[in-house]
């Protein structure tokens, strides 16, 4: 019984020592990388705003009107088909 407790204690001590050794080596011999999330997000936001402000909206509005008329025609034809089936 004493042998079992000795093995458990020794195993736990070895695991803890290896853990602390690994953390020490990791902290000592690696460089920490920090990512500046605020700066990168603001740069992306500024580029998106610049793209939006520099685009012309005339072509977009005309396309929207054309697409909405096309969708209305498609909806009408779909409803007519469904009503003819019933």
Can you give the residue range of the structural domain that contains 58? Answer: 32-85
Q: What is the mean pLDDT of residues 14-26?
A: 97
pLDDT in tens, 71-82: 888 889 999 998
Same domain for 67 and 37: yes
Same domain for 45 and 58: yes
Q: How many domains, the chain?
A: 2
Same domain for 4 and 15: yes
The DSSP secondary structure of the chain, one letter per residue, reads -HHHHHHHHHHHHHHHHHHHHHHHHHHHHSPPP---HHHHHHHHHHHHHHHHHHS-SHHHHHHHHHHHHHHHHHHHHHHHHHHHH-
Same domain for 71 and 36: yes
Is the pLDDT at 68 greater than 90? The verdict is: no
Same domain for 17 and 43: no
pLDDT in tens, 26-59: 999 998 888 888 888 999 999 998 888 887 655 5
* pLDDT interval class at 4 (50, 70, 90): very high
Same domain for 70 and 45: yes
Same domain for 38 and 64: yes
Same domain for 79 and 37: yes
Say what the pLDDT of residue 70 is: 82
Higher pLDDT, 10 or 39: 10
């Amino acid at each position: 019984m004493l042998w079992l407790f000795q093995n458990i204690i020794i195993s736990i001590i070895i695991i803890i020592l290896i853990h602390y050794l690994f953390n020490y080596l990791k902290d000592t011999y690696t460089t920490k990388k920090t990512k500046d999330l605020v700066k990168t997000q603001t740069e992306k936001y500024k580029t998106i705003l610049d793209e939006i402000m520099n685009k012309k909206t005339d072509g977009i509005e005309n396309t929207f009107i054309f697409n909405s008329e096309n969708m209305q025609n498609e909806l009408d034809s779909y409803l007519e088909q469904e009503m003819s089936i019933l």
